[in-house]
Amino acid sequence: MNRKEFFARVGFGAAAVLVPACIAGVATSCSNDNSSGGNPAPTGVDFSVDVSTGTLATNGGFMVTQGIVIARTLTGSFLAVSASCTHEGTNVNYSASGNKFVCPNHGAQFSSTGAVTAGPATRNLTEYKTTLNGNSLRVFS
């Protein structure tokens, strides 16, 4: 066996071993729901934010804090859901015109209560309660 034949056989052997692993990795990288994707929703939530200034002072605005996205609807009410998309963990944004939450990464969509309305996510966001007292918005479990 000469040098050229040796490297040809070694290269083919390595390819035979690596190709199935590569294909398996590609096949699972964009599955419908990444079981490890998305950070766990915060638990034991109880905090307040000032809504007199910043993005929550205006109808349609939103902010992310402590793992929760808080949004002010176009009618002035407040919504709060876990911020981490349940597909791969990207923070969702609030779309005031559609009154929904949208993942900018793969386009998953969630209702105003966090229910999945369009994939690739298959698990809902966690919804939190809100109470407004003056300019102080309480967000809690």
Q: Beta strands 129-133 and 116-118: pairing type?
A: unpaired
Fold of 46-140: Rieske Iron-sulfur Protein (2.102.10)
Please state the rounded mean pLDDT for residues 81-93: 93
Half-sphere exposure of residue 70: CA atoms within 13 angstroms, side-chain side: 28
Question: pLDDT tens digit string along 8-58?
Answer: 665 555 555 554 544 444 433 333 334 446 688 989 999 999 999 999 999
Question: pLDDT tens digit string along 94-127?
Answer: 999 999 999 999 999 999 999 999 989 999 999 9
Predicted pLDDT at 30: 38
Predicted pLDDT at 83: 94
pTM score of the predicted model: 0.73
**Residue ranges of the domains in the chain?**
1-30, 46-140
* SS3 state of residue 61: coil
Which residues are bridge partners to 50 per DSSP?
A: 136
Please state the rounded mean pLDDT for residues 71-100: 95
